[in-house]
Chain A
């Protein structure tokens, strides 16, 4: 291996991406967890931690800029560094979804949850798990895994649709519940978007490994989605 130093620097970037990913994963799970407990302090902590996620993203972006400027990456190396730029941006936005859930928690103030949270934590768990495996696939450049993971989005979409219908029923039965239903709908929507962004990460991984840039299609129609 002639370019040992460069290889080492690429490995460092990948390690940083994994670290950023684990911060985001934690934020997603924790945002729903503290919502379930109506823990406002916990929500405030998640919002503060999002600033760390953003900082980490900028640091990796800077690291990538320097590598591109100084190491003149070509072919696979170029695809990897350019795509990593995209991936960290996806991760940062996923962190924003967790922050959004924490903000909803704070805005709910003294209000109780309209219903006990069952499906929403499941969505968070599946989304975080998909995210975790998508980053493993990214680091290993595992095309097969990257092709498989997006299909799991169907399950997240199904949960989202279920929550949507359920909340609509609440609203129909008691129009005064509109605001509380809306809060939960937004939470579910944020989690649904997390899974969508995992698909983008998988698309980039396939591009890095094969040079083919193509969109992984949604398999299902989604209700309530713009």
Chain B
């Protein structure tokens, strides 16, 4: 059920469980995320969507009691294996959060800072321009690169955070509700940007807005608390987005996407 028959896999989970102490917040996830596609993770609140996406770049490491069992494989390498540096994982797998979180610095420095600490030695002006262009922000900010990032609108700040992420040239970009703090027009801009970004990057997005998942993604993973009594979330259906929204296989997915859930 959880396999995509495609050769180009960016990241894969094998029998993945994510625990907070003794509580398994996410159970038994086996999915293969295809390269240069947008994969959406949807499901009701509390079903473990954010926990799952945070496991992809080891953000859950910051929660002391959290640990995982099973594997998350990036090009065959288990991200939770021994000798894996979580900082290196986060360089390869960038993340954009719900609320735009630019640094309290200039627009330019927001891009250059991460590149610098990652040892970037090339032409910084070029990198800044490329990244801002890649995030469809260049034309709006090219004349005020020295201005504080805080002067930008929410939507622009979010695109700046995306520019900052792609400046590091990750392989995968994780987006956790990237548009939920934005107005509808800024939201559509981010969604359109995702279509551009997927030409070069693999994108995994968590969204509680299933219409957004329908609009932007190629594949959709439907998560839900698996059984009555258990409070552990899992992926109950994973397939092409067009199938999830026109002919889902699981009755629970059908009930969720048609608004008849619960």
Instruction: Name A residues whose Cβ lies closer than 8 Å to a Cβ of B.
Output: 2-6, 65-66, 69-72
Contact = CB atoms under 8 A, between A and B. Distances in A.
A69 B254 CA distance: 13
The A interface, classified by DSSP as helix, strand, loop or mixed, is helix
Given A66-B245, A69-B242, A70-B245, 5 more contacts: A3-B188, A5-B195, A69-B245, A70-B214, A71-B214
Nearest to A65: B246
Interface string B180-197: 000001001100100100
Contacts, number: 29
Nearest to B186: A2
B215 interface: yes
Nearest to B214: A70
17 contacts: A2-B185, A3-B188, A4-B192, A4-B195, A6-B215, A65-B246, A66-B245, A66-B246, A69-B245, A69-B246, A70-B215, A70-B242, A70-B245, A71-B214, A71-B215, A72-B211, A72-B215
Contact of A3 (B192, B214, B245, B246): B192
Interface of B: 185, 188-189, 192, 195, 211, 214-215, 241-242, 245-246
The B interface, classified by DSSP as helix, strand, loop or mixed, is helix
A131 to B, nearest CB: 30
Contacts of B211: 72
Contacts of B246: 65-66, 69
A6 B189 CA distance: 12
B242 A66 contact: yes
Contacts of B215: 6, 70-72
A2 B189 CA distance: 6
Contacts of A2: 185, 188-189, 192
B214 A72 contact: yes
Nearest to A63: B242
A4 B211 CA distance: 17
Contacts of A65: 246
A71 B241 CA distance: 11
Contacts of B185: 2
A65, A70, A72: which has the most chain B beta carbons within 10 Å? A70
A72 B191 CA distance: 14
B192 A69 contact: no
Contacts of A71: 214-215
A162 B214 CA distance: 55
A98 to B, nearest CB: 31
A89 to B, nearest CB: 18
Closest 10 interchain pairs by CB? Answer: A70-B214, A69-B245, A66-B242, A5-B195, A2-B188, A69-B246, A72-B211, A70-B245, A65-B246, A4-B192
